[in-house]
Structure 1
Amino acid sequence: MHTIDEIIQSMASRGLRITDQRKTLAKLFAESPGYLAPKEVYEFMGKSYAGLSFDTVYRNLRVMEELGVLEQVMFEEGVKFKLHCREHDHHHHMICLQCGHTYPITYCPMEQTAVPDDFRVVKHKFEVFGYCKECVQEETAASER
């Protein structure tokens, strides 16, 4: 897990000005193991920063994602963010829909994708959604009660 100081240093090294709001975002994501929806981040930030707009929060999330500090994933209920994982090699994720735990997929499916000659790929994402062993066991135990 990234520390607050590591996140702040990562943002600063990429030229992002470090404001109190961004320090608070760093703390929030350092202490959150799973994915956070922009609305959750906005509600958390609103407790400390009166008058903060949703647009400002979302813009900061997008900037942090563009700089590689956060990862953005599209869930059925909308986009969510989490800290960028520490893995440096190109990889994808399997994501538990209940607890948000992620497992790296080290194989890239793009290697097996037939890309038409008249199409230039500039980036791609590949996520697999399901339930981790712990969440399946919890669900099974709850249904047996």
Structure 2
Amino acid sequence: MEKKPTAVEQAWTILKAKGYKHTKKREALLTFLAKKNRYMPARDVYIEMSEQFPGYSYDTIYRNLHDFSELGILEKTDLNGEMKFRFHCQHHGIGEHHHHFICSVCGKTKELNDCPMDIFEKQLQGCKIEGHRFEIYGRCEDCQ
């Protein structure tokens, strides 16, 4: 039985195909986000990365986070007025359609199996839906 590539390995396949160089800093960034498996603000990522790599600038980290989200490696959301990033869901392929419950305190997520657009598509006959976003915010079991 063939071993499924890890999320970080999948990310490197995409990055290499897009011409990104494999660096220790990018490897550490991807590994950190994969282990955390929750939405995190760029400043928290910066704090972790600057401990490992003094001189690793906030701008470089934010640019990598943004670029990785544009490539579908990371997911991003605006939570409480701040952009937060997380590794794409392990259960879904990169770019595969799904939604989340997001804890507004710790950033943990739970995947939602159903898409509410099924209801709205019936009401929008004749319209071409080009995209949507659906997230539920609240407090997880640990943060209540």
**Alignment TM-score > 0.5, same fold:** yes
Alpha-carbon deviations, 1:91-113, whole Å to 9, x = none? 11111223433222233333406
User: Is 2:131 the counterpart of 1:123?
Assistant: yes
Q: CA 1:110–1:19 in structure 2 vs 1: closer, same or farther (change >3 Å)?
A: same
* Aligned partner of residue 90 in structure 1, secondary structure: coil
Conservation of the 8 A alpha-carbon contact between 2:76 and 2:85: yes
Deviation at 1:76, TM superposition (A): 0.6
Query: What fraction of aligned residue pairs are identical, expressed as a percent?
Result: 33
Alpha-carbon deviations, 1:41-92, whole Å to 9, x = none? 1222222333332221111001100111110011014011010003134111
* Aligned partner of residue 47 in structure 1, secondary structure: helix
1:73 and 1:126 mapped to 2: Cα distance?
A: 10
Aligned-CA RMSD value: 2.7
Aligned length, in residue pairs = 134
TM-score by length of 1: 0.74
Match of 2:85 in 1: 81
Structure 1 segments of 4+ aligned residues over 4 angstroms from their partners: 119-122
TM-score by length of 2: 0.74
Q: Counterpart of 1:67 in structure 2: which amino acid?
A: L
2:13 and 2:68 mapped to 1: Cα distance?
A: 12
Match of 1:108 in 2: 115
Structure 2 runs not aligned, ≥5 long: 1-5
Conservation of the 8 A alpha-carbon contact between 2:75 and 2:87: yes
Q: Counterpart of 1:26 in structure 2: which amino acid?
A: L
Choose 1 or 2 for highest CA Rg: 1
